Structure formats: structure tokens, C-alpha cells
Structure 1
Amino acid sequence: MSRLMFYIIVGLLMVVGIATSVQRHVQFEIPWLPGEQRQVWEIEAGINFTAQGGPVQVDLALPSHQAGYRVLTENTASSGYGLAYQADELGRTARWTIREAAGSQTLYYSVQMLVSDDARSPAQTPPDVVTTPWERPYDTAASQLIEQAWARSANNATFARELIRDINGERQEENARLLLSQENPAALVVRLLNQAGVQAREISGLLLEDGRRRQTLSSWIQVFDESGEEWAIFHPLTGEQGKPDNLLLWETGGRAVLEVQGGTNSRVTFSMMTHDQPASAAVRNHYSEDTLLNFSIHSLPLEEQALFQTILLIPIGALMVVFLRVLVGIKTSGTFMPVLIALAFIQTSLPTGLIGFLLIVAVGLIIRNYLSYLNLLLVARVSAVIITVIAIISIFTVLAYRMGLSAGLTITFFPMIILAWTIERMSILWEEEGPKQVLIQGGGSLITAILAYLAMNNPWVRHITFNFLGVQLILMALILLLGNYTGYRLLELRRFKPITDDEKPS
């Protein structure tokens, strides 16, 4: 029963670790491999108006997460103005306010949009059907247009398509031309759709083209189906259904894009450009919205992120130690001392770390050998070794600096307490079992530290452990499985070599 519970725990760790990692990859688009690039659009909206010398309030509709695009960052430049972001069921807006302003005014809003195939539009509330009565003879023309398009349609989407073609297409007749004298094409289509009981509204979008300046928004028509849950977008002039890949929906609530109180001659223009940036940097800005299910180290300050980037590598080193000790049979001086030495190698680089480690241990053993003649107590002896290690590291660092070897300065990253205990253990081992065992365990520790360093310093491993915390659960499951192994180690198989030699035919 206990064995069954053990495998259930291991299985749960595996499943949860894999599931959380896949969830982060799918939901947040964190790549499995480092170095992947993502396309990002930088869009700047410039608002110009003439203030009349009194209080001013400016409202600008803002884009939101939507199909194909996701908001990364947004900034404003508005000297002297107060700023507040607001959101409701119709969308997001930025509101600038100032107590007194006069003359020409310019405000800027910039946003970075990540091109994302997995991004989805939020649920939208269908607009109310608003019917505005027509005066004669426009009422008759509107009724005839609605009847003709309705007869050729099967649902709200096809009705909207036929209506647009009747108004702006080759089938345009006198009725359409008469009504176009009262409304622009997009507003006319929406008005006729509402008159027929169809939920529809005019929305604004920006066609993205790299390097374009002083662009304006274009009008599109959003039509909801009979249930009010699904919607489709139509071009108000051609009647083409569907959202172009380069169309960024800027305002989808059916309200004005720009409203200025206390100013005249207001307008907003857009400039845009695109560039590629690493995927990890592109998605990092989402983490401020994370819930507990979307927990991420990226929500911490950068200093703490750098610390955890190293800490999260330790389980990889622990897995290497368990594998080499349990399956291979390598002996080490101390259980997880090689992991800490491997961490020091990451900071110093492997060649510098190896040289520094060998020098410190060699000199430390010589000094420790002298201390053994003083018959000190264990605590005092280890304390003396710690001070000796600190002195050795200090001397080597100063000498490296004097000789112009800047790499030698990183030797201070070695764990001094661990080195002191390593020297103490090796010295005792030398006295009890001889130099051969010192070389075996010291060499095993060094080999294990090098292999752990190679595993921990791999760019893919660093990327996976830092961005997918579920990997820690997978590593835990693997270590538990290795800890359950009771068979022969690989290095122990050589004991059976004489038997196999005897069984060979002569």
C-alpha cells in the first residue's frame, strides 16, 4: 500500500508539473526554446486641438486585447495634464484633464501591441437596437432597401452583406443615393440594420503598415447574430466579411474615439512601426495581471528575478548528483557540495573556477595538515580552516588583480564555508584511509561539479527552469524515482568482470 501511495505521489507531481508548464506555454505564449522572436507593433496617437483658455477634458478610446493582438505596454506624454485610465463594458479610455489651457495643445499616447495568434477578443456586450425615425421621403427609401436585402438573406450576417452591396455596390439605386445624402455609408448601414431589428454598431480600426505616419482610423461595421453572442465585421463600402490580419480594432464600443471638452479643432492621427524582439521579453509585461494560477517569478523586481534565476538551477544540480551517485556510483566529498561548486563555476566560468578550486583546496590541505598537530577541538579547527580559506581567497584575488587577470577576481564567488568543510573532510580522509581515497572522492566531486555545471549552465535549461516553475515538480518526481532505486551501480559492475572472463571459452 505504501509503495502504491509512493507511485501515486510521483505520478501527481509529474502530471501537475507538465500541466502547469503546458498551461503557461499556451496561455502566456512563453516559448519552449530561448531566443524565439515575436513581432511587436509600436503605435503612437497624437492628439491636437486648440484650448479655449479654461478647463479641458480629453477622452481617447484605447485598444484592448483582441484576436491577433495583445497589449504589452502603454505610455503617455502630456506635460501639465492629469491622466486616468478608465474601463467599462464598452472598452477602455484615457482621460486627460487640466484646470486651464490656451492655444495649440498636443497630447501623445503610445502602445506596444504583440502579434499573437492565440490572443482572443474579450466578450462584448451587444448594443441596444436604436431606431431613429426617417422623414419623408427617406422613410420609404429606407423601407424598400431593407425589404430587398432581407428577401435575399438568410441571417443577420448575410442581411448586412446584401444591405451594404445595395448601398455602395453595383446594385446601388436611387433609394441608396437618396439616403447617402443624409448619412455616411457606415452610419447609414448601421441605422438601417437597427431599423430592421439587427444589433449592429460602427467601430473604428487602424490598418497597420510599417513606417506609416499621420494615419487615421477607418470605420467598420460590427454585426451580432440572432443570439447576440457571435459577431462579424464588415467593410462598410465593399461588404467583405472578416477582419483583415493587419487590422487593429481601436474602438469597439460604438462611441466616439476622441472627445474634447474645452477645446476646438480636435483631431487624432497615428504613426506606427514594427520590430521583432525576444519572445521572453515580449510576454513579460503580462505578468502584472497574473493570478495564483499564473504565478510567475517575473512579477518580482529585477534584482530578485536574477537571484531566483540562479536558485531555480539548484534542483538540476541536485538531480545530477543523485543520478551520478545512485546509478553511476561516483563518490563525492559531501553530498551536495558539487552543486555549490557548480554554482560558483557559473559565476566564475569553468576554467577560472577549476584553477581557483584546485589552488584553494591544495593550499588549504597543506595548512590543515599543520593544524592537525595542534590537537585543536573540532569547532576551533574548522573555524581556523574557514579563516584560512578566506585568507587564501583574498590573497589569490589580490595577486590576480596585480597581474592584470580580471577573471581571478570572480574567485570570491566560491562558498567559503563549504570549501572549509571540504578541506576538513579531505584531511580526515587522508589521515584515516590515505591519499588514494582523497583523490577518488575529490576527483568524483570535481567531475560531478563539472557535469552539474554543464547541465545548469545550458541556455535551454536556464530558460525552462526560470519560465516554467512546474519543472520543479517534474524534477522532484525524477529524484524520488531515482531515490527508490536499489540495484547495482554502473561502477560496481566491474566487480563481475572476472566472472565473465572465466565463463569465456578458452
Structure 2
Amino acid sequence: MHSRKPFYILVALLFLAGVAASVYRGIEHNVPFLPGEQVQSWAVDAKVSFQGTGEPAEVKFSLPNDPAFEILVENATSPGYGLTIANDSSGRHATWSVRQARGQQDLYYKVTLVPTGKTQVIAQAEPEAVEYNWPATEKAAAEQIMDEVWSRSATNLSFAQQLNKSFNASDRSQNIELLLSGNSAANLFVQMLNSKGIPAKKVNGLFLEDQRRRQQLTTFVEVYHQGEWLLFNPADGSQGRPDNLLIWDRTGKSTLDVVGGVNSLVSFSMLQDTRSALATSIDVLKNKDALDFSLYQLPLEEQSLFKGILLIPIGVLMVVFLRVIIGIKTSGTFMPVLIALAFIQTTLLTGLVGFLLIVAFGLMIRSYLSELNLLLISRISAVIIVVIGIIGLFTLLSYKFGLSEGLTITFFPMIILAWTIERMSILWEEEGAKEVVVQGGGSLFVATLAYLAMSATWVQHWVFNFLGIHLVILAMVLLMGQYTGYKLLELKRFKPLAGE
């Protein structure tokens, strides 16, 4: 007797591979596990304005590069300007250029962002602190502040926290007041941290608030600690990242540089919106060129075709379960699956009525053909032609009476209907009308359950967006194929053998 251990190992591997692939796609590619999920998106407009001096102008503007937000769409409006968007050692930036700029100049940049939930900023490499050379008038005061705060700290992080607290204390020392009178809080914070060998840099962030206009960037400070950049706001003494903060520029340099112009200014407007989580995931994958071997890279017509094809395994699973485990008899093995596919196009009630009418008329005509003693091929061919005629007749009658639902009856598989009529006719002759009702009713019952499963929105979402689910279905079908016990409907038949 062959061991079943390899078989069970195969089933387990298929099941685990299918689940793992589906979970990976949901987590890594942010594909929603349930249909209809929505995500918040932000549309941010940046307006760059300056006065042209009549000379060639070049405008360099830093672009957002924040792991907490994914860029879906970005574009720029700059009539008459050349535009280049680059990503190099100085970060992402847009560069506008023109041979001559005179008078008021307005350039626009628009970006659509969605939150990713990744608020941590991981450093690519360990940075070095650039020591600051203090002016003679500030050196003594700065060293006294740093020594005092250093004595109250244990680590680089606690030094930054204590220093930030000192900047915003209600009873600030005279030394801090002196230094802040000639320096901004962010600059002073970075200079003191770097003087102690702690890497720190200024970053510019934008607070996202719905329907706000003419907003300016806010300066923050990022402090390096154990491979991660932590955010501080020396202006108000806060630490950590607000949920609605977008880090616009992390280069530590100027966000906007204008050559050939004066009085430059950048302002921001923003608007919050909701969009489909699935559409957002697809857009992100397209931007990353990660749609290879994905059904979404196919034309829409082929995608629509596959959405129907990928439902067949669900119907097959229902048929195997209902026949092998429950014990329901059907006319044909997988005919209910094809009928269920037709029900998806016709709706359930219209499909049931149409199926019963076609089969009933077909059986009447088939009974006449049986009296002609035709060969099997000729008889089947005649039944096919008759079925086509019946479908055409019902379609015309539906149109005449204004029953638009009846027009969908053409989605029924004609060849399968012809074979069903032939099989039921032979069954009637050999087993009687009762067996025809049992198998015909069983087929409709299985087709109805398969339709209910295949038409469920969440099922259609899973089988198309999580292809690994088909490996799970295959594992379940193989497992049920090894079942050799009693079918549930047979228990009643063998009940007398069990006694009282």
C-alpha cells in the first residue's frame, strides 16, 4: 500500500504557498483584502513666485521624498520654461529654466500623495557630524549651555531631548536668550548637537490640513540615533512626528534657489480626498514598474475575460464538495459550473426561468426525434440547432414584450444545453421521470449555490487580485479527492444498518 505522506505534504505546501503569496501581496503591495476599501489622499499644490530681472533664469525646487507618503501623480505647469525632474545625491528636485524672465513669474508643481504608515526614517549610512566653529562672541555661552545639558544627559538622544527642553523652558538662562537673539532655534539646535559629535540636520515639513491655502514650510531638526532619524521641533519643544506632517525637504539645504530673479517665494495649498484602495495600489505598482506578471498589465478586454475565467475554480470547488462530501447528483460533472457562469450574466431568477424553458421545450422536441431512429451525431446536431432556435425565439419574444432581462438568455452555453437535453432524454427512457427530476434539480441546486459563491463581491475580488488563492483551492480539491467515506445524503440510506 502506497504511503499518503507525500500527498499530504504536497497539499500542505500548496496551501501554505497560496496563503503566503496572498498575504505577501496584501502587505507588501498594499492590495486591500476586502473590496470597496478607501484610503485618504492629499493633493498638494506648490506655487513658486519671483520677479524676473530680464536675464536667463533657473529655478531649483526640492520635491517631497518622504517614506510616510507615496507619490501617485506629480506634474508641473510652467509655460515657456524647460523642466527637468531629477533624483541625485542632493535629493529629488525640479529645475525650471528659461532664456529670459522679466516681471512676475509663477511656476506650479502639483503632487498627489497617499499615506503609507511608514513614519520611521531609516538612515542609509551612519552620518558624520560637521563641527561648527562658534564666533568668539558666542563660543563661551554655547559651551556653558552644552556642558550644563551634557551633565544632565546619559545618551546622545537624551542630550537632544534635554537641550530641546532647555530652549523652551519658561525660565531660560541668559546664555540661551543671548544665542537665540542672533540665531534661529533650529540653527542653534543643530550647531550644538554637531559640536558634541551628534549628527543632526534641518528639514522642512508641511502640515497637511484640508482646504488650506498659502501655507509655508515649517523647519524641524532630524537627530541621528541608532540608525534612525528622529524629529524635533526646537521652536515649540516638541519631539516626534505629527500624523499630518509631510517632510518636504530632507537635504538640509535651501528648498528653493532662484538664479536670475529676486523676491522668490513658495506657498502651498492642499486638499484632502478619498480614493479606492485597490486603484491606489495599482497606481503605486505602475509607478514602481512592479506590474510584471500581473493581470493588470493586460488590456481591459483581456482583464474582463480573466475575471470570468478565474471564477471557474470557485464553481469547481463547490461542485466537488457538493458531489463528493454531500452526495448531490447532477446531470453532467461540471455542467452546473457553466450554468452558474451564465447565471452571472443573466441574474439568478432570469437564468433559472430561461434554463427550465429551454430544457422543457428541448425535451419535447427530443422525444419526437427519438421516434425517427436517427444516428447519435445527427440527433445531437439536430438538438443543437433546435436549442439555438428556441433561444432565438425566446429572445425575440422578450424583446417584443419589453422584457429586457430575457435578452440575456443568449449567454447560456448552447452545446452544453444540447448535451444536457440529450442526457436527460436518455435518462428519462432508462430510469424514468423521477431520476430526471433528481439529477436536473440537483444540477440547478448546485448551479445556484455555485452562482451565489461566484457572484459574491469579495470572492471576485480575491480570485483576481490574490492569485495565490487558487493554490489553496487546488489543495482543497486534492484533499477532498482522497475522501472515501460516506456521503452525507447516504447516511439516511444506511441508517437501518446502525440499529436503534
Range 214-223 or range 290-299, more displaced: 290-299
Aligned to 1:253: 251
Contact 2:67-2:116 at 8 Å conserved across structures: no
**Secondary structure of the residue that 2:313 maps to in structure 1?**
helix
- Aligned AA (1:417): I
- Once the two structures are superposed, the pairs formed by residues 94-243 of structure 1 within 5 Å of their partners are 94-98=94-98, 102-117=102-117, 121=121, 123-125=123-125, 127-167=127-167, 169-170=169-170, 172-225=172-225, 229-243=227-241
Range 26-35 or range 413-422, more displaced: 26-35
Contact 1:65-1:122 at 8 Å conserved across structures: no
Residue 223 of structure 1: CA displacement? 0.7
Contact 2:122-2:229 at 8 Å conserved across structures: no
Range 249-258 or range 54-63, more displaced: 54-63
C-alpha distance in 1, partners of 2:221/2:260? 30
C-alpha distance in 2, partners of 1:52/1:445? 82
Aligned to 1:490: 488
C-alpha distance in 2, partners of 1:218/1:465? 46
Residue 251 of structure 1: CA displacement? 1.5
Deviations 1:411-466 (A, max 9, x none): 22222332233233333333443433332222211111001011111223223323
Aligned to 2:9: 8
Instruction: Kindly tell me the number of residue pairs found equivalent between the two proteins.
Output: 499
- Aligned AA (2:40): Q
- The counterpart of 1:410, out of the listed 392, 408, 411, is 408
C-alpha distance in 1, partners of 2:234/2:307? 52
Structure 1 unaligned spans of 5+: none
C-alpha distance in 1, partners of 2:119/2:405? 46
- Aligned AA (1:63): P
- Once the two structures are superposed, the pairs formed by residues 379-390 of structure 1 within 5 Å of their partners are 379-390=377-388
> 1:45 aligned to 2:46?
yes
Aligned to 2:349: 351
Structure 2 unaligned spans of 5+: none
Aligned to 2:270: 272
C-alpha distance in 2, partners of 1:401/1:120? 63
C-alpha distance in 1, partners of 2:80/2:372? 76
C-alpha distance in 2, partners of 1:119/1:133? 33
Residue 358 of structure 1: CA displacement? 1.7
Change in CA separation of 1:458 and 1:119 when aligned onto 2, cut-off 3 Å: farther
**Secondary structure of the residue that 1:63 maps to in structure 2?**
coil
Contact 1:47-1:106 at 8 Å conserved across structures: yes
Contact 2:207-2:245 at 8 Å conserved across structures: yes
- Aligned AA (1:34): P
Contact 2:345-2:411 at 8 Å conserved across structures: yes
C-alpha distance in 1, partners of 2:291/2:298? 16
Change in CA separation of 1:308 and 1:47 when aligned onto 2, cut-off 3 Å: farther
C-alpha distance in 2, partners of 1:380/1:193? 93
Aligned to 2:67: 66
Deviations 1:275-334 (A, max 9, x none): 344433443323226788996544544444333333222111111000111111112222
C-alpha distance in 2, partners of 1:468/1:343? 20
Range 112-121 or range 5-14, more displaced: 112-121
- Once the two structures are superposed, the pairs formed by residues 222-371 of structure 1 within 5 Å of their partners are 222-225=222-225, 229-288=227-286, 296-371=294-369
Change in CA separation of 1:372 and 1:78 when aligned onto 2, cut-off 3 Å: farther
Contact 2:167-2:234 at 8 Å conserved across structures: no
**Secondary structure of the residue that 1:214 maps to in structure 2?**
strand
C-alpha distance in 2, partners of 1:263/1:391? 79
- TM-score of the two chains, using structure 2 as the length reference: 0.88
The percentage of aligned residue pairs carrying the same residue is 54
Change in CA separation of 1:224 and 1:324 when aligned onto 2, cut-off 3 Å: same
C-alpha distance in 2, partners of 1:60/1:398? 66
Residue 118 of structure 1: CA displacement? 5.6
Deviations 1:331-360 (A, max 9, x none): 222211111111111111111111122222
- TM-score of the two chains, using structure 1 as the length reference: 0.87
- Once the two structures are superposed, the pairs formed by residues 20-39 of structure 1 within 5 Å of their partners are 20-39=21-40
Range 102-111 or range 406-415, more displaced: 102-111
Aligned to 1:18: 19
C-alpha distance in 2, partners of 1:83/1:371? 77
C-alpha distance in 2, partners of 1:430/1:484? 32
C-alpha distance in 1, partners of 2:171/2:94? 42
Deviations 1:71-128 (A, max 9, x none): 4443444445554443345543334455665543333333333334466545444554
Residue 406 of structure 1: CA displacement? 1.6
Change in CA separation of 1:420 and 1:92 when aligned onto 2, cut-off 3 Å: farther
